[in-house]
Each structure stands twice: as C-alpha cells, then as structure tokens.
Amino acid sequence: MCGIVGYVGGQNAAPLLVEALGRLEHRGYDSAGVAVVGSQLKVTKRAGRVRDLADVLPKRMSGRVGIGHTRWATHGPATDVNAHPHTDTSGTVAVVHNGIIDNAAALRARLTDQGVALASDTDTEVFAHLVALSGADTLEGKVIDALDAVEGTYGLAVVHADFPDRVVVARNGSPLLVGVGEKEMFVASDLAALVRHTATVAHLADGELATVTAAGFTTFRRDLTRTQTTAREVDVDPSAYEHGQIDGRPRMYTEMLEQPASVERALRGRLDERFATAHLGGLEMDARSLRAVRRVKILGCGSAYYVGQMGASLVEELARVPADAEAASEFRYRDPVIEPDTLYVAVSQSGETIDTLLAVEEIKRKGGRVIGLVNVVGSAIARACDGGIYLHAGPEIAVASTKALTTMFVGFALLALQLGRVRDLSVADGRRLVAGLQALPAQIEQVLDGEERIAEAAKALAAAESLFFVGRVRGYPVAREGAQKFKEISYRHAEAYQMSELKHGPLALISPEVPTVAIVPDDELTDRNVAALHEIDARGGPLVVITHAGVDLGELKAERIDVPRNERELDPLLLTVPLQLLAYHAALTLGHDVDKPRNLAKSVTVE
Ligand code: AGP
C-alpha cells in the first residue's frame, strides 16, 4: 500500500527519491509523486507507475531535501491531483501521508468555511492546510498543531519552504523509519527503500515525531519531550530486496523456488532431537507458563489467516489444546472477550497489516498475552507482541505470498510441538514430528520438480470462469489458500468449500464448465473424500486432485497431482505448494503480471 520516502543531505533529492519509490512498488500503488525543497518548493506527481513519474520529472527540479510517495487510493480516485505530496494553497508546505485521517470530512468542511479552496478529494490535503495555517514559529510546532486537529492513523512526512534544512515526520499506526547515512539522512515507511543506502535504521514508535536534518535526527512527542529512539544496525542483504524479474522469471516464481531453503532456515536451531521437541526462545515462556495455556487463538488476515487455520489444527492435534483461527479484521470489531489463560498468536508476513496490529493492541489493552509469528524483523506487529517467532523467510516481494506462508506453517508446527511436549505428546510422537519437519525441505523440492505437470493442469483451469477448491478438515484451509492464490493472480472466481458441505448447496453449480480442485490426502478421511469426488464426476465436473501416491481414485476422470507423504499433521504444507504453482501458471496462461495483481497491495496498512 502507500509508501513514504524522504531525503536530507548533499545529493540532488528528486532522482534519489524516485529511485527509492521504485523500491516500494511491490507494496501496490496507483500514483506517485515527489516534493523537493530548493530555492522554492516544487512538486511533481502523477497517476500511474513510478516510471511515469520519472518520465515527467523536470530536469531542473533541484534541491537537497525532499519527500516522495506511492499512493494506493482510499479517498478519491487515482488521479494526478489526488496523488501525494499535497500542498497548501500557497505551495509552501508539502505533505505525504500513509494511513487514514478519520475526521477528514469535518476538517474539510471547517477549512472550506475558512475560505480554503481544497484541490483534491483526499484526506491528506487537509493536513497541508492545517500546517500552513498554524501560527507556530517552528516546523515542529506547526506539525504538532496540525496533529492536534486530526484523528486517525498516520505515517507523515512534511517539508516547508521556510525551513529548507529538514523533514519532520510523525507516526501513529503506520510504520516510519529513519535511515542514517554519511552526512545524509533518509526516511521511509519500509526498509526496502533504505537498504541500498544504509543499514543503520531507527524505527519510530507510535506517538513519536522526528526532525531529520543532514546532521542527524531527534525524536520527541507532541508535548515536545525528547524520546530516546536510537538507530541500530540491521542485518540485511540489499540484493534480497532487488525488484523485478530474476532470470526472466517473476518474483513470485523465485520465491516459490526458495521454499526448501526458507523452510530450512525457519527450522534451523529450533529442533531438539534428544528431547523430541522444539525450542522457541523468542516465546519467552517457560514450561510452566506453556502448561498454563488453556486455549490458543490465532489471528491473521487473508492467507495468513488460512495458514492460521492450519496452525490451529496442529495445536489441537499435537498439544490437545483447543485452538481456532479468526480473521483479525473481524476480531477487533466485535469487542472480543480476552481470557487470561488463552495464548493469542498474531501471524503476519509484513508485520504491518493494520487489522492484525490493531487486534494485537486490542488484546493487550485488555490484558491478554499475544505472541507474533512474523517475517519482517522489527516490524510494528513484532514490536507490539509480548514475544514471538521470526519466520526467517527472507524478504518477500511478490504480492501473492508463498514462501512466507510455508514458513508460517513451520512456525505453527514448532509451536504445537513445543506446547505438545510440555503436555502429553509422547516422545515417540515428538520424534515422528521432528523427523517429519526435517524431511520437509527435500519434499518441497520434489513437489517443485513436478512443475511441468502442474503447469499443464493450470492451462486447462485458466479457461474456466469459475472454479471450486474443496477439502475436508486439514484439507479445508489448504483449499481456502489455494482458492485465494488462484483468484489473486488469475482474476478467476475461485471459491473454497468444505468437501462435506458440497451436497448442501454448491453441487448445484457443478457442470463441465466449473472445474474443482480437490485436496485428498491419504488419511482417515480419504474414502469419504473420494466418494464426494464421485458426486462431482457424475455431474460432469472436471477434477484436479492433489493427493498422495497410492490413493485409489477408482474410475474417476481426474487429473491427479501426487505430493510426497510426510506425517499426516504436516500434510497441509506439502499439499499447498502445488496450488501455488497452479495459480502461477494459470495467471501466466492468462497473460497477467503475477507480481503486481490489480487492486492489491503487498502490505495492507489501512483498515
Ligand atoms: C497473500 O497472498 C495475500 N497477498 C494476502 O492475503 C496476505 O496474506 C494478507 O494481506 C496478510 O498479509 P500479512 O501476512 O503481511 O499480514
């Protein structure tokens, strides 16, 4: 979603800002712009891609201080006028903003009454006018006056022609980082925009502001009391953040292929063969507090929620602790009951998803304990949790999540194993699971080796306007994730259903034009699943079955894709991987840009 960059230093800001915006492209956006303070304040912004902005950037847009933005429309369509930065009427102040100003309508009315002519449909523009109208004599004072009037979430960066040496930034709910260079400083909403320039980074906390000049930065609160936020070295490999295709393949493809390595990283140092358990030091919970857990509640959004459902099954099966997953986006709106002996688990690749972050804050406000399963180190959700498990998937650039999801599954398996072993999970079962987890990287490799066959099946599916993905019990969240991946990048209608529920309604839709992708592992439910497939087959519905070698599909007319056997509890991971390839090849067949699906953002930072 929206991205912020900023620069103060000795270089010409505009090209540097545009380059940094390009590094935020994966977040999803529909317009881009920059503001630079030189002899005067100059703004260039455009609906469209960052390269469209680069094409129209005036050659003489010089200045050593500036801010830039990629916008994902919330208030008003994607037009040049609605793109950020927004300015006041005189063009003295420029503002870029992530998040939403909730009382924008009231503020717009108030400004209009005061005779201010608003140029755009956005909530952000009001902030530029409020800064300009402030009587404070410092930029910090003006920004604070404006903040006093707004309600909502924000990451903000402000420049002012009368204060040409600085960028002032403020954070409430939307991430903001300050990067420290050699006599130059950077601002960004995402580490990806900074890594080419510096690995010394400070994360602002909610409620903090910062003044950023070429000499350094200071942080403070709205009452002007100084805070002690400092910059730290982050362990990053800049090349992992490079965008664009690798060897002519989309990022999603590269990321799918990385899964054996990322799963291995997620497991590294966390399995204990001697005691047949897992050790997750980051949980910061000893055996006694783990034993005191009476329930596990998992919260995430989109695919993270579906993997959360897989995680809930793992916890119930291995630890025999009641567990369920819920969409974080729903949870926080229903005034949830928070129980002291429930372990809440927030799961997120980006660590920025606002609904998940707000769910964490709601739990903590009510005194609950919440741990995070998060990929991005130091992200807002990771920092808001009481402890947690980093996924070690590495940077994920493609909007359609793949390698982060498989490491989430591994994180849940490790958590369930550790919870189980402090309870009644036997040594023998513990050993079985440890061995199963260790086998996963090589088995994922095997699934990926079957790409050609999966690509063939995908071509046929791409022709259908509408598809079902079905599974039962452990297979159902796999079906949900498969349908999600398929619809995200192929734009086909893909609906997930419990296999058991088919004959209670959706069977009416089955026809030769509506294919079904069925998840049929070799487990205690195989016979029931195969019986349901016969009902589909009898109505002429084409079938693709993701299953294990040896499962007897009888006379079914079905395209079958076999995945390697592991322990039953771990099946969902290996069943998920072919569904990623299926979605990918269907999208390629249809000619879509798989890395930048329409209307979607990598990090969903607005409610
Ligand atoms: C996955 O392919 C999707 N792009 C999306 O559902 C994603 O999983 C969801 O928005 C949650 O993101 P997060 O893991 O960064 O919190």
Give SS3 for 257: helix
Ligand 1 contact via 402 beta carbon (within 6 Å):
no
pLDDT band at 39 (very low <50, low <70, confident <90, very high): confident
Whether 478 has a pLDDT exceeding 70, the answer reads yes
Ligand 1 contact via 401 beta carbon (within 6 Å):
yes
Ligand 1 contact via 350 beta carbon (within 6 Å):
yes
Catalytic residue from among 297, 403, 485, 602: 602
**Mean pLDDT, the chain, as a whole number?**
94
Calculate how far, in angstroms, residue 302's C-alpha sits from the geometric centre of ligand 1.
Answer: 5
Question: Side by side, which strands form the sheet with 558-563?
Answer: 493-498, 466-471, 516-520, 543-548, 558-563
With CA atoms as reference, report the closest residue to 387 among 530, 247, 285: 285
Q: Which residues contact 317 (CB under 8 A, 6 or more apart)?
A: 416, 569
Ligand 1 contact via 303 beta carbon (within 6 Å):
yes
Whether 237 has a pLDDT exceeding 80, the answer reads no
CA dihedral defined by 389, 414, 279, 241, rounded to 10 degrees? -40
User: How far, CA to CA in Å, does 140 sit from each of 2, 136, 169, 450?
Assistant: 23, 8, 9, 58
Give yes or no for a contact between 433 and 389, defined as CB atoms under 8 angstroms apart: no
Cα 416 to chain centroid distance, Å, stands at 23
Q: Closest ligand 1 atom to the C-alpha of 300? A: 16
Give yes or no for a contact between 14 and 85, defined as CB atoms under 8 angstroms apart: no
Q: Pick the residue whose CA is nearest to atom 10 on ligand 1.
A: 302
Calculate how far, in angstroms, residue 577's C-alpha sits from the geometric centre of ligand 1.
Answer: 16
Write the secondary structure of 439-478 as one string of H (helix), E (strand) and C (coil). Answer: HHHHHHHHHHHCHHHHHHHHHHHHCCCEEEEEECCCHHHH
| Residue 508: Cβ-neighbour burial (10 angstroms; 0-12, 13-18, 19+) | exposed
DSSP per-residue letters across 561-606: EEE----GGGHHHHHHHHHHHHHHHHHHHTT--TTS-TT--SS---
Q: Which residues contact 417 (CB under 8 A, 6 or more apart)?
A: 277, 278, 318, 425, 430, 433, 434, 437
Neighbours of 11 (CB within 10 A): 13
Pairing of strands 342-348, 295-300: parallel
Q: Is 301 one of the catalytic residues?
A: no
Structure tokens, 1 = 């979603």
pLDDT band at 599 (very low <50, low <70, confident <90, very high): confident
Tokens 């402090």 label which residue?
Answer: 422
pLDDT digits (tens, 9 = 90+) for 320-377: 999 999 999 999 888 899 999 999 999 999 998 999 999 999 999 999 999 999 999 8
**Mean pLDDT lowest for which of 64-78, 100-114, 240-254, 399-413?**
240-254
Tokens 């047949």 label which residue?
Answer: 276
User: Which residues share a beta bridge with 216?
Assistant: 213
Q: What is the pLDDT at residue 444?
A: 98
Q: What is the pLDDT at residue 445?
A: 97
Ligand 1 contact via 379 beta carbon (within 6 Å):
no
Pairing of strands 271-272, 152-160: unpaired
Tokens 């994730």 label which residue?
Answer: 481
Calculate how far, in angstroms, residue 595's C-alpha sits from the geometric centre of ligand 1.
Answer: 13
What average pLDDT score do residues 200-221 get? Answer: 96
Structure tokens, 98 = 């992530």
Q: Pick the residue whose CA is nearest to atom 4 on ligand 1.
A: 400
Q: Pick the residue whose CA is nearest to atom 5 on ligand 1.
A: 302
Catalytic residue from among 2, 42, 297, 487: 2
Ligand 1 contact via 353 beta carbon (within 6 Å):
yes
Whether 461 has a pLDDT exceeding 90, the answer reads yes
Ligand 1 contact via 329 beta carbon (within 6 Å):
no
Calculate how far, in angstroms, residue 524's C-alpha sits from the geometric centre of ligand 1.
Answer: 31
Q: What phi and psi, each to the nearest 5 degrees, are found at residue 15? A: -65, -35
Give SS3 for 519: strand
Calculate how far, in angstroms, residue 433's C-alpha sits from the geometric centre of ligand 1.
Answer: 27
Write the secondary structure of 78-99 as one string of H (helix), E (strand) and C (coil). Answer: CCCCCCCCEECCCCCEEEEEEE
Structure tokens, 419 = 């919870």
Ligand 1 contact via 418 beta carbon (within 6 Å):
no
Structure tokens, 207 = 């409620």
With CA atoms as reference, report the closest residue to 241 among 579, 602, 487: 602
Q: Which residues contact 183 (CB under 8 A, 6 or more apart)?
A: 9, 10, 214, 215
Ligand 1 contact via 301 beta carbon (within 6 Å):
yes
pLDDT digits (tens, 9 = 90+) for 71-120: 988 878 899 999 999 999 999 999 999 988 999 999 999 999 999 999 99
Q: Pick the residue whose CA is nearest to atom 16 on ligand 1.
A: 348
Q: What phi and psi, each to the nearest 5 degrees, are found at residue 141? A: -60, -40
Whether 245 has a pLDDT exceeding 70, the answer reads no
Give yes or no for a contact between 157 and 96, defined as CB atoms under 8 angstroms apart: yes
Testing ligand 1's pocket by substitution, the residue of 299, 306, 326, 353 carrying the most ligand atoms inside 8 A of its CB is 353
Q: Closest ligand 1 atom to the C-alpha of 301? A: 11
Q: What is the pLDDT at residue 28?
A: 78
Testing ligand 1's pocket by substitution, the residue of 376, 485, 604 carrying the most ligand atoms inside 8 A of its CB is 604
Whether 59 has a pLDDT exceeding 90, the answer reads no
Testing ligand 1's pocket by substitution, the residue of 309, 350, 399 carrying the most ligand atoms inside 8 A of its CB is 350
Testing ligand 1's pocket by substitution, the residue of 357, 401, 402, 602 carrying the most ligand atoms inside 8 A of its CB is 401
Cα 339 to chain centroid distance, Å, stands at 27
Neighbours of 254 (CB within 10 A): 17
Give yes or no for a contact between 371 and 388, defined as CB atoms under 8 angstroms apart: yes
Calculate how far, in angstroms, residue 312's C-alpha sits from the geometric centre of ligand 1.
Answer: 18
86/284: higher pLDDT = 86
Q: What is the pLDDT at residue 242?
A: 67
Q: Closest ligand 1 atom to the C-alpha of 353? A: 16
Ligand 1 contact via 256 beta carbon (within 6 Å):
no
Whether 605 has a pLDDT exceeding 80, the answer reads no
pLDDT digits (tens, 9 = 90+) for 172-197: 988 899 999 999 999 999 888 998 89
Q: What is the pLDDT at residue 501?
A: 92
Ligand 1 contact via 601 beta carbon (within 6 Å):
no
Q: Is 2 one of the catalytic residues?
A: yes
Ligand 1 contact via 381 beta carbon (within 6 Å):
no
Q: What is the pLDDT at residue 244?
A: 61
Q: Which H helix or E strand runs over 212?
A: strand 209-213
Q: What is the pLDDT at residue 603?
A: 78
| Residue 229: Cβ-neighbour burial (10 angstroms; 0-12, 13-18, 19+) | middle
pLDDT band at 243 (very low <50, low <70, confident <90, very high): low
Whether 239 has a pLDDT exceeding 80, the answer reads no
Calculate how far, in angstroms, residue 349's C-alpha sits from the geometric centre of ligand 1.
Answer: 7
pLDDT digits (tens, 9 = 90+) for 537-566: 999 999 999 999 999 998 899 999 999 999
Whether 215 has a pLDDT exceeding 70, the answer reads yes
With CA atoms as reference, report the closest residue to 193 among 159, 236, 254, 249: 236
Q: What percent of the chain has pLDDT over 70?
A: 99
Tokens 């960059």 label which residue?
Answer: 5
Sign of CA dihedral 104, 109, 114, 119: positive
Give yes or no for a contact between 547 and 560, defined as CB atoms under 8 angstroms apart: yes
Ligand 1 contact via 597 beta carbon (within 6 Å):
no
Calculate how far, in angstroms, residue 481's C-alpha sits from the geometric centre of ligand 1.
Answer: 11
Sign of CA dihedral 360, 361, 367, 372: positive
Q: Which H helix or E strand runs over 141?
A: helix 139-149
pLDDT digits (tens, 9 = 90+) for 152-169: 989 999 999 999 999 999
Q: What is the pLDDT at residue 37?
A: 96
Structure tokens, 312 = 């809930």
Q: Pick the residue whose CA is nearest to atom 6 on ligand 1.
A: 302
Q: What phi and psi, each to the nearest 5 degrees, are found at residue 293? A: -70, 125
Q: Which amino acid is at 506?
A: P
| Residue 431: Cβ-neighbour burial (10 angstroms; 0-12, 13-18, 19+) | middle
Angle 565-567-571 from CA coordinates, rounded to 5°: 65
Q: Which H helix or E strand runs over 312?
A: helix 302-319
Give yes or no for a contact between 178 and 221, defined as CB atoms under 8 angstroms apart: no
Residue 174 DSSP symbol: S
Whether 246 has a pLDDT exceeding 70, the answer reads no
Q: Which ranges constitute the DSSP H helices of 366-426?
A: 380-384, 403-421
Structure tokens, 55 = 């094409």
pLDDT band at 247 (very low <50, low <70, confident <90, very high): confident
Q: Which residues contact 280 (CB under 8 A, 6 or more apart)?
A: 270, 389, 414, 415, 418
Whether 149 has a pLDDT exceeding 90, the answer reads yes
